[in-house]
Structure 1
Amino acid sequence: MIYLDNSATTPVDPEVLNAFVKVNENFWGNPSSLHAFGARAEQLLIQSEKQVLSLLNAKQHKVIFTSGATESNNLAIRGLCHAYKNRGRHIITTPVEHASVHETIEELEAEGFRVTYIDVKGSNADIVKQIQEAICEDTILISCMHVNNEMGMVFPIYEIGQLLKKYPKVKFHVDAVQSVGKIPVDIDKMNIDLLSLSAHKFHGLKGSGALIVNQYLSLTPEITGGHQMYGLRSGTINVAGAVALAKALRLAIEPLQTNYQHVKQLFDHTMNELRKIDGVVVNSNHEHQTPYIINFAAAPIKGETLVHALEEYDVYISAKSACSSKSATASRILLALGISDEVAQESVRVSFSNLSTMEEVDRLIKALKIVVAQLKH
């Protein structure tokens, strides 16, 4: 099997799975219990939180372990806006955010919050300039992804964070799902208040995520009924999931530069080969591009048709993001980036992990050449 849909999910690292099983076998006590068995589970939770904060250099933050980044994004955005709505009701974001950010902000807009959507078709410098021009007395939140999940463009998170040092009342949320464990993420250096991540994007377990929160921030909880997770997420804590997440994060970050160079070689080779195929248009050509994601179209073949044709060769890529792949409409994200509706309907995504190989890329290209030639006639 040639699996090149790693932006949707990644295979679980055996060490991560083993850690999850060991905690469930030996430390399955409730961390909220008063007795010593519960205290052992609580200690594992505390250690996992410390490890996550250390790996992401977040000295003034705390970790809310969640079911994944969708929950983290909802808690970050809705929780902050409801907590600070008396201070202001203006949100700044981009039109290319993940649905869990985009739709949450749309709901807040329906509640009476005002939203400014930054045009992201220009340079990163232009994005920062637009944000600065959009900030006003009423602004309470800027929410911007680090790496776009469909195109792979890398947003100027560091530059936005430095800008916001001039505006301490404006809080900064970053959806880092496609960047954590792949490119450097330094929460303190980037001046990030809230950061969302999901373990299954870096060889962790599905159903396990985190929201890293500045400890001085107030949030209105989404889930009530207990005191767990600093009172921000009620319910018995998944200690094994937290331990496994911390393990997966360490295993991803320690060899980050080596993995990046490996994937960059795959990216460069794939881009060169794609451009040799007649009719293929590469969409992923931003000035700042992660090598982990390539978006392209093979006109006039619909993206979904191409995905299913490649399945016959045991090659697995995707059309749009996994969260919207069953929608019949063109990708909202590609349209917002100025790509035509026709090309957006034809676009597909290849996404790598550190486990991807040059042989897999060559097999993808070989299958792609055959399939494109067949489907054009």
Structure 2
Amino acid sequence: MIYLDNSATTPLLPSLRNQLPKLAAQFANPSSLHIWGFEAEKAVDAARLHVAAALGCQKEEVFFTSGGTEGDNLAIFGAIEAKKRMGNTILTTDSEHPAVSQVLKKAKEMGFKVVRIRTKGGELDLEQLSSAATPDVILTTMMLVNNETGAVYDIPAASKIIRKQCPDALIHTDAVQGFLKLPFSPRELHVDLLTVSAHKIHGLKGSGALYVKKGTRILPHMLGGGQEKGLRSGTENTLGIAVFGLACEEGKKNLSSHIRHMASLRQWLLLQLRDIPGVHLNLPSNPVCHILHFSLPGHKSEVVLHTLSREDIAVSSGSACSSKKGKSPVLEAFGLTPERADTAIRVSLSVLNTQQDIQTLVEKIKNIL
């Protein structure tokens, strides 16, 4: 199989797969007081150090979750509950992942005002953001990298506007698609809260983390045994967390070479597609290294996906979390016409892909056209 749907999930790195039996042997509850519980706790602590190092933050600022969706829920609900007496406005974009947009839909039902900033062409409308940044803003939540188009949003510029005009507001970014795909730290982004996920960086599904800047107060969304300093109760997923930590260690160590590899493959695919009549490239002004989005007018996305699947090639038409729910509001926000959106294909790469993978995809696309 040629797997080119890495924005949906990534395969486990072979080096990590080989360590699974050893890691799985540490099955005890990290909260238990016996020696096996202590060993499990040490594994969680070691992983926390690796995640913190990859993020460029302190280990005390890393809180483990079950993944990106839970992290976004915890950040948003936790922030608005903590800040609701100070205002009721939330700023976001018109192209967020459902893990954010659906949470904000619920927040609106709860009485909060939600203002969506335009991202046409993959660029944050900073003028609109500045106009919307009024004193009653308590939270901004804007993704770092769009999961469908690959656009990198200017979070540092947005954060500076918010810090100046809404100094008491919390700033959250969903960095799931950007983590270990471009260099950044929460400090460089000027954010208080930041979400990452293990299975997007060659770890296991069911593990992720929320960065919470030291001194930032949010309220827990899930109550229970008080794990993760009371912010996220529930027995820790020791195996998933341990693998997450190792994936972070591997990704940080090879960040520059991995980015170069994916960017090179993306550029090579882009150049190949440009020479094929009938292919329309949907390019943001500032793209991430691993996502390329294009349309094949006259060929419905679903038909193309099934055709490529029969050739053992996996691509996508957009977010796997909403691909079965109709048209994508993200592509509309980007500025695509209905026809371009209905015929859109997303190729998302990983360090495991090769130039031969890209060559095979290009040949199959030529056959389709």
**TM-score computed with the length of structure 2 as normaliser:** 0.95
Change (3 A) 1:137 1:162: closer
TM-aligned CA deviation for residue 340 of structure 1: 1.2
1:132 to 121, 130, 133: 130
Q: Are the counterparts in 1 of residues 122 and 149 from structure 2 also a CA contact under 8 Å?
A: no
Alignment gaps of 5+ in structure 2: none
- Spell out, residue by residue over 1:285-334, the C-alpha distance to the aligned partner (whole angstroms, 9 max, x if none): 2111113111111111100111111122222111121111222x221100
Q: Are the counterparts in 1 of residues 48 and 59 from structure 2 also a CA contact under 8 Å?
A: no
Change (3 A) 1:257 1:299: same
Equivalence for 2:318? 320
Equivalence for 1:233? 232
Work out the CA distance in 1 between the residues paired with 2:268 and 2:243.
33
Change (3 A) 1:138 1:235: same
Work out the CA distance in 1 between the residues paired with 2:181 and 2:121.
24
Counterparts of residues 1-377 of structure 1 (less than 5 Å) = 1-25=1-25, 27-59=26-58, 62-121=61-120, 124=123, 127-166=125-164, 167-283=166-282, 285-327=283-325, 329-372=326-369
Matched AA of 2:154: P
Work out the CA distance in 2 between the residues paired with 1:123 and 1:102.
17
TM-aligned CA deviation for residue 220 of structure 1: 2.3
Superposition CA RMSD, Å = 1.7
- Spell out, residue by residue over 1:34-77, the C-alpha distance to the aligned partner (whole angstroms, 9 max, x if none): 23332222222222212211221113852221111011111111
Higher mean displacement: 183-192 or 195-204: 183-192
Higher mean displacement: 139-148 or 270-279: 270-279
Work out the CA distance in 2 between the residues paired with 1:102 and 1:177.
15
Equivalence for 1:375? none
Matched AA of 1:367: K
Change (3 A) 1:371 1:365: same
Change (3 A) 1:90 1:19: farther
Higher mean displacement: 260-269 or 164-173: 164-173
Work out the CA distance in 2 between the residues paired with 1:37 and 1:59.
26
Work out the CA distance in 1 between the residues paired with 2:259 and 2:42.
33
Alignment gaps of 5+ in structure 1: 373-377
Matched AA of 1:368: I
Matched AA of 2:205: K
Q: Secondary structure at the match of 1:145?
A: coil
Work out the CA distance in 2 between the residues paired with 1:60 and 1:91.
28
Q: Are the counterparts in 2 of residues 59 and 188 from structure 1 also a CA contact under 8 Å?
A: no
Percent of aligned pairs sharing the same letter: 38
Q: Are the counterparts in 2 of residues 13 and 204 from structure 1 also a CA contact under 8 Å?
A: yes
Matched AA of 2:151: M
Work out the CA distance in 1 between the residues paired with 2:134 and 2:161.
13
TM-aligned CA deviation for residue 20 of structure 1: 4.2
Matched AA of 1:7: S
Work out the CA distance in 2 between the residues paired with 1:14 and 1:266.
21
Work out the CA distance in 2 between the residues paired with 1:370 and 1:60.
51
